[in-house]
Amino acid sequence: MLASLVIIYLPINMLVSEVEKSRPVIHHIPQSFHGTVVIHFGDSSSPPISKKKGYEVINISENGIYKTSSPRPVRGIRHVLVDELGNEVKEISISGETMKYGSDPGVTISEYTVP
């Protein structure tokens, strides 16, 4: 019985893990924000990226800066404008993201401009 459960559990767990890895990271951007977004990945003094409904969600503040202890995800990004209550309003397309290394070891800085 236990062996059967393990045989069933392991493939399902691996499949769920692979599906989650392929999901894009969602950047929630205030709809009133226009300017440069700066994200510091790998900042050990900051919390990890939060998860909502199986997606990693980065909530960009009004000043455009976000810091996280999580490493920079290698999968795609969805940029979504949100209202003042955090409700998704509209997905937008943003190109031209740049990446550089921070002054602290292990910190990667990602930047892009919201028109």
Given a cut of 50, is residue 110 above it in pLDDT?
A: yes
Residue 2 falls inside a structural domain: no
Answer whether residue 10 is part of any domain: no
Could you tell me which residue, 19 or 1, shows the higher pLDDT? 1
Query: In this structure, is residue 15 part of a structural domain?
Result: no
Domains identified in the chain, total number:
1
Query: Does the residue 77 lie in any domain?
Result: yes
13 lies in some domain? no
Share of the chain above pLDDT 90, in %: 69
The verdict on residue 4 lying in a domain is: no
Three-state SS string across the chain, please? CHHHHHHHHHHHHHHHHHHHHHCCEEEEEECCCCEEEEEEECCCCCCCCEEECCEEEEECCCCCEEEECCCCCCCCEEEEEECCCCCEEEEECCCCCEEEECCCCCCEEEEEEEC
Q: What is the pLDDT of residues 98-109, one digit of tens each?
A: 999 988 889 999
Within a domain: residue 1?
no
Per-residue pLDDT tens for 2-45? Answer: 655 446 655 554 444 444 556 899 999 999 999 999 999 999 99
Q: Is residue 5 part of a domain?
A: no
